[in-house]
Chains A and B, each alone.
Chain A
Amino acid sequence: MAKEITREAINAHDATLLRDIDDALANCMKCGNCQAVCPIYRETRKEHSVARGKISLMQAILNGKLPISGAFDSIMAHCLNCKSCAAACPCGVPADELILRGRDAAIKVRGLHPIKKNVFRLLRNRQLFDFALKMGGTFGGLTFKKIPGKMAAVSRLPMPGMDPNRATAPIASSPLRSQFPEVIKVPGAKLRVAFFTGCTINYMYTDMGTAVIDVLKANNIEVVIPGKQHCCATPVHVSGDFDLANEMARKTIEEFERFDVDYVIGACGSCVEALKDYPHWLEKDPVWKARAEKLSKKVREISEFLIEVGYDKSLMGPVNKTITMHDPCHMIRGIKVTQQPREILKSIPGVKFVEMKEHDRCCGSGGSFSLAHYELSRKINDRKCANIKATNADYVTASCPSCRMHITDGLVQNKMPQVVFHPIQVLAESYKNGKK
């Protein structure tokens, strides 16, 4: 007769998956300070929404009191990975990373969510992923209707898993990387940089990528866009599928090792954070860790880069706009770049910079979080829109395409006139006006 599997045996097995973070979890003193900053808790006011609740739940599993269940899975999924809890924690507990470990354990026990499984299968194969999104761009006009002036579109047809009224980014008819050669030469270049475009900028917000290239060229910098670059793997990493994320990180490292450059730049806070974090992701393998370190030392976010090496202010023309700025989570709490984009914006003639209230608060996007929990992410975003409204700004700037997409949706839903740009686009506009 088959040996019966007891509840205790299941709990004991699940506990082993979290054993190595026992000490890290124990450092949480349960003060609850994370309640004050968690965007999700602010809406739900349920204890399992907040880091303290999630850490306690992981401790319950560690102590064999509860198994890793479907409810555990969905509680761990209820996190924007905005890092506010970690930044506010008096004990320095990296709750954001621990929650990813919780997701990792959930995948090991219960497998990936079927939708994610399919998306990740596509992500594993760069060529297939590229083909699918190019097709989406070619035929996008059939299914998506563009919203004038906002770089946004709404679906003409019901899309599975998406709110019918939601404004999203249009898929570009031609991706950024197809519009430019792999090496963009400038005569007598003072520096050579590689551009990590990231998926959203490559396939959707090509205007952001073009602005980056225009600004670099204007500053006499040669730009290399490695052609076989792929997703930075952040969506996979934050889902807890560390094995696939690390495989993708290794591909990115290999691709960028092909070029001898001074810097590697990106315009998406999350992608840049991932590239800077690869040594940490790959720390169990000393050879790959070393290769990752070599890459990560060169990685800069575009505004961080421009402030570091300088940029030409004599070329700037006026941009007569009132501009406010949202700090994307992975910029402010990830790579901690907040002053540089402000400095650039404030240096542009004609710009009136206005700080919005709670500029450091998550916009509610959280990448795929907003797909799975649209209503909740809309509520979080409505607060952001109310803060934007109070500034009377013409432009909202954000150094992250996901934030741009989600805030744009918020502006459409709240019938507000503002337009969202990356700060680099405002600088590109200024350079353009300078030529006139």
Chain B
Amino acid sequence: MQNTQMIEELKKIVGEEYVLTKPEDLYAYSYDATPGHSYMPDAVVIPGTAKEVSEILKYANTHKIPVYTRGSGTNLSAGTAPLKGGIVLLMLRFNKIIDVDLENLIAEVEVGVVVQDINDHVGQFGLMYPPDPGTVKTASLGGTISENAGGLRGLKYGITKNYVQGLEVVLTNGEIIHTGGKNVKDVSGYDMTKLFTGAEGTLGVITKAYLKLIPKPEADKSMIATFKTLEDAGNAVAGIIAAKIIPATLELIDNKTIRVVEDFMHVGLPVDAAAILLCTVDGNPIVVEDEAKRLEKVLADNNGEVHLAKSAEHKEQLWTARRMALPCLAKLRPTTFVEDATVPRSKIPAFLALVEKAAADNNVTIGTFGHAGDGNMHPTIVCDIRDEEEMKRVYAAMDAMFRGAVELGGTLSGEHGIGLGKLPWMEFQHGKAGMEAMKAVKRALDPNLILNPGKLLGEC
């Protein structure tokens, strides 16, 4: 049987202990953090070197076996779910921070390293790697590169793609290529680094990255403001940017979420507020002081009731609502869909209104919180995936949200990726020609369509 032969070949490449085939082991890699997607792979292979990855891809390419590259499996788009069976390529043995180059401020890191561990390591040199998705303590670097993860600091510091300066990638034909490098300026050829970043494992297998590091900010200051109307909150966000203040974080929590958090936590949140904004400015202590004053004024000018963080503990307390938003929403019902449709920041009030309408029209529970500063909101739908009738309404609400976001000039995904979750709306956003251009790239780099087949673009 072909399966037995495949397993023998894989064992020859990586050694017997690094090929998992027991049904219980396979089942553990049938899913990721996305509800409703579980597909059994035929084998889980755990390579230790780029050369082994190359051998595996050569074999899989020759025999047209699907390959799904996986790190921690914490993505929210079914990006690592082994849709068509085949091989799960588990990259967690790539677990070394190879070098921190303090003269060029570049870290050379293997893809299996957890993002928080990178920050803990470079922190001792007074440096930081800014991308900080919610899963920063669990997500592997490779996963965050492939999904082009963002996080709370996106507005000021940008997202993963702004910090990936070079990659080592194994192509489906087994060739190992190096893109970019330590050069700050580099216009030699196509920007292949950016192409593989955010490709969701559909174009090649990333094994190592050169990451740009920046000095850690010396000081920060936090405050929260509560608003009686969404318009005021929206105007405050626009006002902050217009005042040329770029906060490190500028987070919004809607009324539904405030109520849910208060129900669970009893921390005295204003349950009548339409929205809460949480802001942090960071950088040079003198600049921080000045920006904080101006920020406070903008918030107040837009009818915000402002509370300044008096100490580190007080800041923690103020941030309770944001930190507990997802956990509290998740506790409401068994299944949680965290969406990330994103709109230009000026359209946030309009987007929040359409989310509220989608929830009401379809009788589903949606709490919204997220990164107001960069327009990336997280409408979070809580439901029970075991209830078919409810799920029909949930998908109808999603449809209204995604179409609405795109119609506002937004995008289906700000930071979670497309995978399978948002695939049905891709053509709506990109059009036939846009999809065809992307498919042409896919076919050129993966002619046998073995890498994460059926994801991001659907069938090619």
Nearest opposing residue in chain A for B88, CB measure = A47
Instruction: Look across to chain B and name the residue whose beta carbon is closest to the beta carbon of A88.
Output: B137
CA distance A69 to B26 in the complex (A): 14
Tally chain A residues at the interface, Cβ within 8 Å.
27
Residues of B within 8 A of A227 (CB): none
Contact B137 A33 (CB under 8 A): yes
Minimum C-beta distance from B5 to chain A (A): 23
**Complex-state Cα separation, A69 to B24, whole angstroms:** 9
B138 interface hit (Cβ, 8 Å): yes
Instruction: Knowing A32-B138, A60-B27 are in contact, say whether A26-B33 is a contact too (CB < 8 A).
Output: no
Main secondary structure of the interface of B (DSSP, over half): loop
Q: How far is the CA of A35 from the CA of B34 in the complex (A)?
A: 16
Closest residue of chain B to A90 (Cβ to Cβ) is B327
Whether A26 contacts B384 in the complex (CB less than 8 A), given A33-B138, A47-B28, A69-B24, comes out as yes
Decide yes or no whether A45 CB sits under 8 A from chain B.
yes
Is A71 a contact partner of B22 (Cβ separation < 8 A)?
yes
Residues of chain A having any CB pair with chain B under 8 Å? 23, 26-27, 29-33, 35-36, 45-48, 53, 56-57, 60, 65-66, 69, 71-72, 75, 90-92
Chain B nearest Cβ from A223, distance in angstroms: 41
Chain B positions within 8 Å of A90 at CB level = 326-327, 330-331
Q: List 6 A-B contacts (CB under 8 A).
A: A29-B35, A46-B28, A47-B28, A56-B28, A72-B24, A92-B327
**What 1/0 mask marks residues of chain B from 359 to 387 whose CB sits below 8 Å from any chain A CB?**
00000000000000000000000001110
**Contact between A30 and B32 (Cβ–Cβ < 8 Å)?**
yes
Contact in complex: A66, B330 (CB < 8 Å): no
Q: Are A32 and B33 touching (Cβ within 8 A)?
A: yes
Determine whether the beta carbon of A31 is less than 8 Å from that of B29: no
CB pair A66–B23 under 8 Å, yes or no, is yes
* A-contacting residues, B22-47, CB 8 Å: 22-25, 27-35, 38
Q: Sort chain B's interface into a size bin.
A: 35 or more
Q: Which residues of A contact B160 (CB under 8 A)?
A: none
Given contacts A31-B33, A47-B73, A91-B330, contact A53 B135 (CB under 8 A): no
B135 touches A92 (CB 8 A): no
How far is it, in angstroms, between the C-alpha of A31 and the C-alpha of B20 when the chains are bound? 23
Whether B189 is near chain A, meaning CB under 8 Å from some CB there, is no
A32 to chain B, nearest CB (A): 4
Q: List residues of chain A with CB within 8 A of the CB of B31.
A: 30, 56
Q: How far does the alpha carbon of A32 sit from the alpha carbon of B136 in the complex, in Å?
A: 11
Give bound CA distance, A81 to B23, whole Å: 24
Max count, chain A CB within 10 A of own CB: residue among B137, B326, B334, B385: B334
Which chain B residue has the least Cβ–Cβ distance from A66?
B23
> In this assembly, does B61 line the interface, its C-beta being within 8 Å of a C-beta of chain A?
no
Structural contact, B336 and A29, CB atoms closer than 8 A: yes
Would you give the shortest CB distance from A140 to chain B, in whole angstroms? 39
Asked if B335 lies at the interface with its beta carbon under 8 angstroms from chain A, I say: yes
A36 touches B137 (CB 8 A): yes
Residue B74 at the chain A interface, CB threshold 8 Å: yes
Determine the chain A residues whose CB is within 8 A of the CB of B27 once the complex forms: 56-57, 60, 65-66
